[in-house]
Structure 1
């Protein structure tokens, strides 16, 4: 049979090739549904090199590593540290990350960092190209440690006495403060830490599902057991361990949000109806409907709502319909000028939540806006804010504006990512960055000797490339003072959600 002058076998061959090309293109984006991102490239000129920022945002995590550093370590001024962590209790707790500018390995923020790095890869990993492997290595550095911290059933451990650590200003390689090990168990419960750890392990299991199935299954099994412990032995870790964790990472929002958040991740990772039933039975008790528009290491309600709304919008889990409404309420609270908007912005346009490490809320909110825009686009829906339709395009524009501010489009023309752009903070609140490296100064720097450097006006000798710091105040002011930890300290949980956001922006502007 001939069709328009072509034989049927030839037509069939051409159609087969075309279909194969379409399938290959679809497979470039991991997931179980159509990924709408490719339809939203921005033809106009990009205001920033988002690809460069993405590379640096991931590189930052290598500067926060604790333990035996690998041969391919790229931040070369760092050396091995914390090699005896856990030995006080005859357990191996070597590895993981220092959460910020000190030398403590708090479990709560490290777990949240891991969850958000994993979510970044789950949503936007298909756009990262050469940076995907680096992002996965950053996740694995954390999950390897979390597996150690949860190796004994019914117990979760973390390392470092913050009060004693903060009495010193020394390099992690020189630490001589007690590497005390603290734990939560049935006698000293910590449901928020345990549930966040379960969320991190469950989310990471999805990241490694295709590339390392054995490791993925290990993470999922551990997530299940840790969640059972969190739910069975309910209590706040900032009660039993208050003098060690407060005011540093005191739990102010309660542990209910982490239980809902962890159940949402386990439902996504395992597809076990047990977790969907748990969410349906306990959602209201755990605060699913409570109004909140803050998402960070302490409060996960908003993140859980966005994640569960995805199950409703994309997987068509009808029983989660209410979470679409809860997610929409959050969106309406963020949109400037929208009905029910309650968010505060600086005169320069930066979302402002609080003085202490405000940039963490900027990066986490921007990630949620882009992720929700992705879900809405796939489901062909919008957000209704008091009769005004808020489109996915609007959400993407707001997220981009926040990232552009962070990268230098602000009244001070200052990039708040170290090492990005012509002007960035020179005196960040970070021990390892501010003191001479081991290569430059092999002799030990004693506990209190470093404070003269901390108080000085000299620039940090070691550039912690990719570190995003707390950022400016509500008036767009930034003093660049090392002693000002609220504005000048970096943290892993600031960078983690930014990784996914930058991957989207780099792809959208044709930089990947």
Structure 2
């Protein structure tokens, strides 16, 4: 009888949290969903379409790759600068696709915008993957030079150097993430655009083969051009297993199942890991693979269900295995820099795992206690609501949502007068006056979720405080799925 009693206590505690929270409605979540997708239009590189909704942005990066005789125009700037980093862009793409796969049915009028945001990324990744045989273009822009300037992307004159990985200079981490992104996106477009989906999937197969054949970390190959900005601290093994998992999901080809079975033990399947990010894919892989065990009783994936349970248990206060840190206001806290990236990925995994559990009435086993899918949803809601304004500061950490939100976002394009308002060029050094200005950003980057508060729920709305005030595509991408889930609840 011990397990049911423990489960009741856990469920009751989460119910209490839910009842005490701000009463956001499905309409509020739908509004936040629309804005979370709109944010990506502020990150666009390349020629902007006529239906661009954030009108303060203009064309940029129109000659990216030209000096290297390749077309690398398009894609997204990762955060508040003007570099196109391949690893976080690919992870962003994977998470946007996964959001649509799991929760697209709740996106309603926003499903078209979500697919447009996804396709803006995949069109670029296709170029990067197919421009040169046995090579993969993984970055445009010198981050060291870019970060010495404060320029809107429409004016940038910093070096647009191009960086690639190859057989001689491998990058299994970034390549396998790109394969995951293309494979996941192929699922999204399978019904609406079969030919595009087929192109994505074939390219994903080629890129995964490249990643697996030429093993090595792109951090070693590209050094100071990616480190410390997006150094692959976790290595490349986690991306290979993640990539294979998405190839299996997209193709149902038994060869990928065999690959996972043969290589899983050396690629992190035996290890518990308690964070999920652009760098470390282990927790996400385990949740993804647990789907087949929960829905199809695929015995080969029972291990991943067990490790997914361990991951969930680490997050649930009062459960066996709990080890997460929360702020006094209830926010999951992982790091002083860009903490909300971990909150949005964790929230997405909570909801996705709850969905998988619900297919057969499954529960999470935490020692002698069990946690229900409903408890996972309640915990996810607490995190989502905190970001949207149910927090000690009574501030939304999504720009443009609610009555009070950050005004001094660490973002070049948002903080410098737009090219429409100020047509004359603002050069590298002249832009710094806007970085240090006390006035709010003149261009509202609607939908951007920023780095967020510290471990004590404190937040400094300071443009120079990039750790807390900088947005990023990989913060928003998993949040799209979470918001879709709650917007679909009556």
Q: TM-score, normalised by structure 1?
A: 0.90
CA RMSD between the two structures: 1.2
Confirm whether residue 282 of structure 1 aligns to residue 263 of structure 2: yes
Asked which structure has the greater CA Rg, the reply is 1
Selected match of 2:49 from 65, 70, 79: 70
2:132 maps to 1:155: no
Q: How does 1:410-425 map to 2 (within 5 A)?
A: 410-425=391-406
Structure 2: runs of 5+ lacking an equivalent:
1-17
Deviation at 1:162, TM superposition (A): 0.4
Any conservation in 2 of the 1:154–1:226 contact (CA below 8 Å)?
no
Contact kept, 8 Å, 2:22 with 2:385, in 1: the verdict is no
2:240 aligns with 259
Q: Does 1:486 align with 2:467?
A: yes
* Aligned position for 1:47: 24
Within a 5 Å distance, the mapping from 1:490-501 to structure 2 comes to 490-501=471-482
Equivalences, count: 468
Q: CA deviation at 1:481?
A: 0.6
Rounded Cα–Cα distance in structure 1 between residues aligned with 2:311 and 2:453: 24
Per the alignment, residue 7 of structure 1 pairs with: none
- 1:292 and 1:389 map into 2 onto residues whose CA distance is 20
- Deviation at residue 45 of structure 1 after TM alignment: 8.9
Of 39, 44, 50 in structure 2, the residue corresponding to residue 60 of structure 1 is 39
* d(CA) in 2 for partners of 1:318, 1:284: 16
Cα distance in 2, alignment partners of residues 375 and 472 from structure 1: 31
Offset of residue 410 of structure 1 = 0.6
Partners of 2:417 and 2:281 in 1: how far apart?
38
Determine the C-alpha separation between the residues in 2 that align with 1:122 and 1:173: 34
Structure 1 partner of 2:86 = 107
Structure 2 match to 1:144: 123
Q: 1:345: how far off?
A: 0.4
CA contact (8 A) 1:238 1:250 kept: yes
Looking at structure 2, the residues matched to 47 and 79 of structure 1 have their Cα atoms a distance apart, in angstroms, of 34
**Residue 337 (str. 1) matches residue 314 (str. 2):** no
Q: Does structure 1 conserve the Cα–Cα contact (< 8 Å) formed by 2:449 and 2:476? A: yes
Q: Residues 231-246 of structure 1 correspond to what in structure 2 (within 5 A)?
A: 231-246=212-227
Matched, 1:392 2:373: yes
1:62-461 matched pairs, under 5 angstroms: 62-151=41-130, 152-157=132-137, 158-461=139-442
1:38 — aligned with what?
A: none
Secondary structure of 1:150's aligned partner: helix
> Residue by residue, what CA displacement relative to the aligned partner does 1:32-70 show, whole Å, maximum 9, x if unpaired?
xxxxxxxxxx99994251010000000000000000000
Once the two structures are superposed, residues 87-133 of structure 1 have per-residue CA deviations (whole angstroms, 9 ceiling, x without a partner) of 12110000000010000000000000000000000000011111000
Deviations, residues 205-253 of structure 1 (Å, cap 9, x unaligned) = 0000000000000000000010001011110111121111111000100
1:319: how far off? 1.3
Rounded Cα–Cα distance in structure 2 between residues aligned with 1:147 and 1:316:
35
Distance in 1, matches of 2:214 and 2:464, equals 39
Deviation digits for residues 386-413 of structure 1 (CA, Å, limit 9, x no counterpart): 2111000000000000000000011100
For residues 305 and 395 of structure 1, what CA distance do their matches in structure 2 show?
Answer: 16
Structure 1 gap ranges (5+)? 1-41
Structure 2 length-normalised TM: 0.94
CA contact (8 A) 1:305 1:324 kept: yes
CA shift, 1:426, in A, is 0.3
1:234 aligns to what SS in structure 2? coil
Partner SS state of residue 163, structure 2: strand
Q: What do the CA deviations read for 1:269-290 (whole angstroms, capped 9, x no partner)?
A: 0111000000000000001111
Q: Deviations over 1:306-346 (max 9, x none)?
A: 00000111133221111110110100111112111110000
Cα displacement (A) at 1:291:
1.5
2:84 match: secondary structure: coil
Q: SS in structure 2 opposite 1:462?
A: coil
Partner of 1:471: 452
Aligned-partner Cα distance in 2 for 1:81–1:47: 38
| Contact kept in structure 2, 1:97 and 1:110, CA below 8 Å | yes
Aligned to 1:35: none
User: What is the DSSP-based 3-state SS (H/G/I as helix, E as strand, rest coil) of the residue aligned with 2:365?
Assistant: strand
1:384 deviates by 1.3
Q: Which moved more, 1:394-403 or 1:285-294?
A: 285-294
2:449–2:471: 8 Å Cα contact kept in structure 1?
yes
SS of the residue 2:409 aligns to: coil
Secondary structure at the aligned position of 2:370 is classed as strand
